[in-house]
Structure 1
């Protein structure tokens, strides 16, 4: 399943255009319909910062992105991520940022640049493609400031079949060093996401040791690893030992069970043990819930909440 097929965009994007600050505050202060305000469980105090995304609770919370953010906070979630944040209108970004500030939700990742699924943009060393990437990073810095985001996702693109892998790695490292120089003054971190060969065949970055090597070569606090547990279960398995090996370069986690890329407890990964290990290392960052729901409708959304409550009971 491709991320673009299950990450759902907010339905009311256009309605935010033209809103002034007064309109944004008025919208944020609207009283939510009680039918959208609660699920079947009481709010849970989670041990880690799990981050839902827009669309995950649209049946329980309604289509409105503001109601969905409030619903997440009502259930006890303390973070939120949105791959599509960069493409949202500025007024919508500001409205969402205000709700996150007011409800104590930490902003997780958004995708920082145009991802080339079939083109070797960073691996090639092509200056035009590198310039495109760096321009996207510059524009994403402004988005990050607007929504108080510390992390942004970077995927280096496809392999260059005409070049040795070591030359490709050098090309990627150079692009990331230049991007890091842009990010460091703002305290923003790009997180490199290795993606599995089955869902994303032919991509340059697929393994956690490879990402670790690249981060060591870039040698910047603004270039770290996004360890997506779903992808790495497929790509390499051995999850907890590999997390341990990569620990000093991991800044962000994403979640999804396998098979199916749905909520914890729906597949083969023992997320209770994985979460216990991450917590034992004192991780204070965000774990993005970048997955679908195994069951449709309100029942499925409640199932997601219950699965996180259950998997979080590791102490």
Structure 2
């Protein structure tokens, strides 16, 4: 049965960030994820998790200058030292929060057809991921990389599931896998069910949202009840992150969740 984690960066924006933990727990979620924890002390976040009976499923390693448009450092030549410092910081937070997965963003490449430049970025990406995976393994942590669609994030370094799987295969670290976001996959490639069947052994985390507007998963072109059954059949037992923008109030839009859990015998999220 899928286990759903509320993404507190996108959901429950009706509340200040630290109050979103309690709001998610009231709605029945047992897990949460968010983009970045670094504006808060790790011990304070851990207290919010514990007070509300929540598990931290995932967060992202530092992305560089997010406000300035950076979306990760892993593939950026010349930023290796900053990347390594960011991984160390993320591992420190994970040691307190208790999550076993960290998302490492590739970074922006831009709209370039320069094959030589792309090869340089890819070489840096592979080297950084090899180093980071070794550091994470010493802490029992899995790293995940995410292909992101070019409509939402033009110029992001990887966009396809097969790209992500190829990178993981070349790095060769057992604790490096792909974050399979159904929303991004549908926009870039479609045929989401076939991609899940093909790649499930290399999938470390799954996320959902309605396509194309990135609202609740009961709106749009994807049949999520079918996909949830397929994910169960394929044996995935990790968290499914609900990384969507509620159309109105977050709690008011959770009919899809209650319907899903009722269909599964009333289990909690």
Q: Answer yes or no: is the 8 Å Cα contact 2:63–2:72 preserved in 1.
A: no
TM-score with structure 1 length normalisation?
A: 0.74
What is aligned with 1:157? 107
**Structure 2 residue 240 is matched with structure 1 residue 240:** no
Partner of residue 46, structure 2: 94
Bigger Rg over Cα: 1
For 1:7-86, what aligned pairs fall within 5 Å after superposition? 47-54=1-8, 56-57=11-12, 59=14, 63=16, 65-66=18-19, 68-86=20-38
2:232 counterpart (241, 256, 279): 279
Equivalent position to 1:204, from 157, 175, 197:
157
Q: Give me the whole-angstrom Cα distance separating, in 2, the residues matched to 1:111 and 1:99.
A: 23
Whether contact under 8 Å (1:113, 1:140) holds in the other structure is yes
Q: Deviation per CA, 1:19-55, whole angstroms, max 9, x where unpaired?
A: xxxxxxxxxxxxxxxxxxxxxxxxxxxx311111336
TM superposition shift of 1:171? 2.4
What runs of 5+ residues in structure 1 fail to find an aligned partner? 1-46
- What is residue 33 of structure 1 aligned with on the other side? none
The equivalent residue for 2:170 is 217
Tell me how far apart the structure 2 counterparts of residues 118 and 247 of structure 1 sit (CA, whole Å).
29
Q: How far 1:247 sits from its partner (Å)?
A: 1.1
Q: 1:142 to 1:256 in 2, by over 3 A?
A: same
Match runs of 1:266-305 below 5 Å = 266-294=219-247, 296-297=248-249, 301-303=251-253, 305=254
Secondary structure of 2:180's aligned partner = strand
Distance 1:123 1:72 in 2: 34
Distance (whole Å) between structure 2 residues aligned to residue 252 and residue 310 of structure 1:
23
Q: Residues 123 and 74 (structure 1 numbering): CA distance in 2 closer, same or farther, change over 3 Å?
A: closer
1:79-131 per-residue CA deviation (whole Å, 9 max, x = no partner) reads 1112122332234223224225xx2x22111111225655895435x2x3011
- 1:111 paired to 2:111: no
Q: What is the CA–CA distance in structure 2 between the aligned matches of 1:236 and 1:57, rounded to whole Å? A: 30
Q: Which has the higher contact order (CA 8 A, sep 6+)?
A: 2
In proportion to residue count, which structure has more strand?
Answer: 2
Distance 1:274 1:280, change over 3 A: same
Gap change, CA 1:50 and 1:120, over 3 Å in 2? closer
Matching residue of 1:176 = 129
> Number of matched residues?
257
Which deviates further from its counterpart, 208-217 or 115-124? 115-124
In 2, Cα distance between equivalents of 1:264 and 1:119: 25
Instruction: Please give the alpha-carbon distance, in whole angstroms, between the structure 1 residues aligned to 2:197 and 2:139.
Output: 28
Distance 1:166 1:222 in 2: 24
Within the candidate set 135, 140, 144, 2:94 is matched to 144
Of 258, 266, 269, which aligns to 1:309? 258
Provide structure 2 residue ranges, at least 5 long, that are not aligned to the other structure. 265-269
**In 1, Cα distance between the equivalents of 2:146 and 2:64?**
11
- 1:170 shift after superposition: 2.6
What root-mean-square deviation, in Å, do the aligned CA atoms of Structure 1 and Structure 2 show? Answer: 2.3
| 1:161-208 Cα deviation digits (max 9, x unpaired) | 455344432321111001111110111111101100111111111110
The structure richer in helix per residue is 1
